[in-house]
Structure 1
């Protein structure tokens, strides 16, 4: 790619050169006209002075009048030529500037035509970048980058819609099937009715959980983010929230947190850490260990949750943050997951100006890491 050359500077230099040429042309023509006028005045014939009285008296008064008339004529001619020359040079200069600037801006017109020709079907198709290396080339590169991001967003939206439809279809299908069986069997015994209602209640709770998570994803911006939260407090709360589930699976939770505070939403950060800790306990082995840690590195708070679970393949580690994506669909549904927990974690981290990532844990399994600036943007 050619080095950047400012279009503004090029047009400025072009106008400066053209104006300089116009000024030089005007100066040359004016000087030539002045010289010609002086030559014409000098060429006026002067009458010789006579020594006798009558001839001298009749000849001398006529000489100044002749000179004044010639001077006035030459001045008028000079002004006329200067005015006509100035107009001609300015018209020629403006025409030349118009043509040259139009030629310099032709890549911008071509770029505009390419953008206008885009349709929703080929919006992510890159446009050709001109070889000028100026602002027009930068604009084309920015448009291509924007088109690429829009294409990725549209792809994620389609994937989200498909996954959401699939996730909602499953519990609805279960509900419809159970209602059909219940109606067909006409078994209204207390035990059968209780089992039926229990299944319906579980599927309805699952649908409610998905709807609740979706609402949280769409309303994150409205939550105030002005709380001062201690890192040790945040980690201890997450460990306390997981105490019952960890005890049920005989999982030990190890907490290590240094002193430090972050500014943000206490509710959202607690939700993010709860989701990570809940996944770690759910997908970890019976009698395993979950490590929660928090520390400060410069102006960034580092919060990690590590487990001893089955791990996540390298090629899927980025996709686990997509809504409704599951590494193991059957296992995730059995554990009651909605497929939105990690998407909510990343959304909360990015809302606070940070990031969320996952990597292989030293103790086996995976380690999720949240990086939150100490002073977050509002």
Structure 2
């Protein structure tokens, strides 16, 4: 495979072509002007006194011939000197251009060497930014910014893999311990067997739920976004789905939704709202109230889910949307949470061009706000 030409050599050849063209034009112009001037000098009329003296001279034809030969020789010498000067100027110009271009591109060569030595382990270390303030410095700055973003992604992937392995290991360890204990006791009575089966079923359901949520997180980009749905129907369906869980703990769900048309994937949006509502019911005390409100704010539609639970510390309000993160790890495990519900809500919101965040409630609890793009004409609910 032919090795590509370096940028330094390409810039040098381009400048050489332009310099050669300029030198040729200048040389041709100078020679043309010199020839015209020589012809004009040769054609200058003689004064009368000079003409009379020359007419009396016998050697006039020889003098005219001598002057003509001298002019032609001078023209030839001028042409040769012009060509030699052009070649010398071109050689000197090419040498200077090559050296100056190399000096100008030296920061890029240094940056190339630094980038070539980069690995995934040292992306957090920035490359040296030249003090020139030119394009090379801009490229180095852009590379540092890209490296920081890539490093953050790699860190998130490592944390995600570590957390996923930990979450899968916990139910598997429970299953292994229970089965080992059952085998050791050799208690095959129906009651003991049923108890073991219930534990196995619960842990398998937990693993299945985690796998389903992980698949949904990774397959969002394949989903379609061309459906149109009513905000009222979306909120009411989420409230209806969480109603049995709320009734079991005497929790009241209040719904107050303004009409609006949302565009996107209906199933994903329904799941995002359901996750917020079920999360609010799960962490609210018995006999409390969960309020679901929806209102339009310009081009956006905001779905607010407010609960009366323990609330979320301000320092953790950004991290709660990270996969497998829990504010209270022990309580979340008791309630069956894997720490993927809010991460899935954020992924769905960003997939639809929206956002989700948590606010401090006026009283106790938290307020989750799901912000989605809104269509212009609301359909009848």
Structure-2-length-normalised TM-score:
0.84
Unaligned runs of 5+ in 2: 1-10, 43-49, 376-381
Query: Given the alignment of the two structures, is residue 97 of structure 1 paired with residue 118 of structure 2, yes or no?
Result: no
Partner of 2:46: none
TM alignment of 1:1-378, pairs within 5 A: 30=30, 34=34, 48-51=53-56, 56=58, 59-374=59-374
Contact 1:26–1:85 (CA<8 Å) still a contact in 2? no
Partner of 1:6: none
For residue 310 of structure 1, give the secondary structure of its aligned residue in structure 2: coil
| 1:184 Cα offset (Å) | 1.6
| Deviations, residues 72-111 of structure 1 (Å, cap 9, x unaligned) | 2122112111112222222222222222222222111111
Q: What is the Cα-based RMSD across aligned positions, in Å?
A: 3.1
Contact 1:231–1:295 (CA<8 Å) still a contact in 2? no
Contact 2:120–2:151 (CA<8 Å) still a contact in 1? no
Structure-1-length-normalised TM-score:
0.85
| Deviations, residues 31-70 of structure 1 (Å, cap 9, x unaligned) | 9x949x859x78xxx995243xxx65xx343344323322
Assess, with a 3 A threshold, how the Cα gap between structure 1 residues 116 and 239 changes in structure 2: closer, same or farther. same
> Would you identify which runs of 4 or more consecutive aligned residues in structure 1 move more than 3 Å?
none
| 1:291 Cα offset (Å) | 1.6
Unaligned runs of 5+ in 1: 1-10
How many residues matched? 353
Contact 1:220–1:348 (CA<8 Å) still a contact in 2? yes
For residue 263 of structure 1, give the secondary structure of its aligned residue in structure 2: strand
For residue 121 of structure 2, give the secondary structure of its aligned residue in structure 1: coil
| 1:26 Cα offset (Å) | 5.2
Contact 1:361–1:367 (CA<8 Å) still a contact in 2? yes
With 339-348 and 247-256 compared, the bigger mean Cα shift is at 247-256
| 1:280 Cα offset (Å) | 0.2
| 1:178 Cα offset (Å) | 1.1
For residue 296 of structure 1, give the secondary structure of its aligned residue in structure 2: strand
